[in-house]
Amino acid sequence: MAKLIARNEYLEQLKTWREKDMIKVVTGVRRCGKSTLFELYIDHLKSTGVKPEQIISINLEDVDNAELLNHATLHEYIKARLCDNKWTYVFIDEVQNCDEYERALSSLYLRKNVDIYITGSNAYMLSGELATKLTGRYVTIDMLTLSFAEYCQAIVIPDNRKRFVQYMNFGGFPYTTAIDADRMLQSVYLEGIYNTVLVKDVMTRHKISDVSIIEAITKFLCSNIGSPVSAKKITDTMKSTGRAISVNTVENYISALTDSYLFYRVERYDIKGKMHLKTMPKYYACDTGLRNWILGSENADIGHQLENLVYLQLLRKGYRVSIGKMRDKEVDFVAVKGNEKIYIQVAYLLATPETIEREFGNLEMIKDFHAKYVISMDDIDMSRNGIKHLNIIEWLAD
């Protein structure tokens, strides 16, 4: 049985929004821990004196709840169980499975003392259904797979570097911590996640019938993590293998993959011109373990895997992240949170003078006073000229 891992960062956000006049929407790729987060939060509510009859919890992935996949039926089911003169806490897992669910939520939202929490595994619900019906009446909590610090709560390996390599290879989906010693089970588990997301959240939802094309695009994005990607480049690659596909179709398929949270799209940012560029974005995977399973390799392209881990950690810390462009040079990440801005370069090892000069030199070209970091696997501190060098294992564990 998997150890219940405290997801304190997300739990605190739910506590902050408790009984506020907003629908709480927890989003993220399937199996990242959204349902468990609800379990943890319900336990917290009960510890504060909330009675069981004040809690309505519905999982729309459960076949037993098949009749609730109609919005009117779902609404009536919940309405009949609302408490009088005290708060009722409503939890609906995988709400996008319900036809026109936003109509049920909109009606429930109008009632007094109803605190609504939902999860969803598709970003389209935020830009489409929810945005249309519930503009300004919901707040999102974007959930990711386990951070390295959370992973360390469950995996007991004395050597921190070995533990980190395992985390990078197999990823941070919570259940991987229960089967960490069995590579075959790890593979079967990740395959199950991939197939579920691809079928339910990509192909079915977006009415895509050609599984070979969507799988080919998925593998292309996995192979090019941290590299500029264009729909035309993918189209040309497909054509070179005898599969004709239009640029528009590729763009639609990529949107479907990012909507499902399998990938995150990151725009380029002109540091000198202080503007975002609309061409050649980069894509990062939701989880390095899933990415490695899709490609059938673990230790390949470690530099870009580290870059992927840094990107996800910046998201966890609440940063808005872009790729920096400075004349003909590139900075891996420009991360902004409120008035704070940081610049980050990521490398596997600073093993040669050329590598050191590239990673530090690109940051030294930026003449503002915002913090600048080089992050790598090296244990020796190589900080210079005000640019801080960090060990990635220590940084992720913080």
Q: Is residue 3 part of a domain?
A: no
Q: Is residue 2 part of a domain?
A: no
Q: What is the mean pLDDT of residues 335-362?
A: 97
Cβ burial 221-246 (10 Å sphere, 16+ → b, else e): bbbbbbeebebebbbebbeeeeeebe
Is the separation of the CB atoms in 144 and 316 below 8 Å? yes
Residues contacting residue 89 through CB under 8 Å, at least 6 positions apart: 42, 45, 50, 54, 55, 56, 115, 117
Spatial strand order in the sheet of 388-391: 275-285, 263-270, 320-326, 329-337, 340-346, 371-376, 388-391
Assign 327 a pLDDT band (cuts: 50, 70, 90). confident
Residues in the chain, total:
398
Task: Assess whether 170 and 257 both reside in one domain.
Answer: yes
Residues contacting residue 345 through CB under 8 Å, at least 6 positions apart: 331, 332, 359, 360, 362, 363, 373, 374, 375
Assign 3 a pLDDT band (cuts: 50, 70, 90). low
Which residues constitute the domain of residue 172? 148-397
Assign 6 a pLDDT band (cuts: 50, 70, 90). confident
Whole-number pLDDT of residue 95: 93
Q: Give the count of domains, the chain.
A: 2
Q: Of 44-53, 264-273, 385-394, where does mean pLDDT reach its minimum?
A: 264-273
Q: Hunting for tokens 């996995």 — which residue is that? A: 222
Token pair of 38, please?
């609800």
Residue among 193, 199, 225 nearest 311 (CA) = 225
Instruction: Give tens-digit pLDDT for 97-126.
Output: 999 999 999 999 999 999 999 999 988 777
Share of the chain above pLDDT 90, in %: 85
Task: Assess whether 49 and 118 both reside in one domain.
Answer: yes
Assign 298 a pLDDT band (cuts: 50, 70, 90). confident
Mean pLDDT of the chain: 94
Task: Assess whether 289 and 213 both reside in one domain.
Answer: yes
113: left (phi over 0), alpha (psi -120 to 50) or beta: left
Whole-number pLDDT of residue 109: 95
Task: Assess whether 76 and 175 both reside in one domain.
Answer: no
Task: Assess whether 230 and 115 both reside in one domain.
Answer: no
Whole-number pLDDT of residue 182: 86
Q: What is the mean pLDDT of residues 204-222?
A: 93
Report the greatest alpha carbon distance in the chain: 71
Task: Assess whether 198 and 130 both reside in one domain.
Answer: no
278: left (phi over 0), alpha (psi -120 to 50) or beta: alpha
Domain boundary among 123, 142, 161: 142
Task: Assess whether 275 and 338 both reside in one domain.
Answer: yes
Assign 66 a pLDDT band (cuts: 50, 70, 90). very high
Instruction: Give tens-digit pLDDT for 7-55.
Output: 999 999 999 999 999 999 999 999 999 999 999 999 999 999 999 999 9
Whole-number pLDDT of residue 2: 56
Q: Is residue 110 part of a domain?
A: yes
Residues contacting residue 59 through CB under 8 Å, at least 6 positions apart: 35, 65, 93, 94
Task: Assess whether 237 and 375 both reside in one domain.
Answer: yes
Assign 294 a pLDDT band (cuts: 50, 70, 90). very high
Distance separating alpha carbons of residues 237 and 3, to the nearest angstrom: 43
Q: Long-range contacts: 61-67, Cβ < 8 Å, 24+?
A: 61/93, 61/94, 61/97
Domain boundary among 116, 142, 168: 142
Instruction: Give tens-digit pLDDT for 76-105.
Output: 999 999 999 999 999 999 999 999 999 999
Q: What is the mean pLDDT of residues 222-240?
A: 95
What's the number of CA atoms in the CB half-sphere (13 Å) around residue 346? 24
Token pair of 392, please?
């990635």
Task: Assess whether 82 and 210 both reside in one domain.
Answer: no
Distance separating alpha carbons of residues 208 and 73, to the nearest angstrom: 29
Q: What is the mean pLDDT of residues 366-375?
A: 96
Task: Assess whether 351 and 255 both reside in one domain.
Answer: yes
Q: Is residue 1 part of a domain?
A: no
Assign 302 a pLDDT band (cuts: 50, 70, 90). very high
Q: Is residue 37 part of a domain?
A: yes
Instruction: Give tens-digit pLDDT for 251-263.
Output: 999 999 999 999 9
Task: Assess whether 185 and 137 both reside in one domain.
Answer: no
Which CATH number fits the domain that encloses residue 12? 3.40.50.300
Whole-number pLDDT of residue 166: 94
Domain boundary among 142, 164, 188: 142
Task: Assess whether 232 and 118 both reside in one domain.
Answer: no
Whole-number pLDDT of residue 398: 86
Q: Hunting for tokens 């907003």 — which residue is that? A: 22
Angle at 312 between CA 310 and CA 315, to 5 degrees: 110
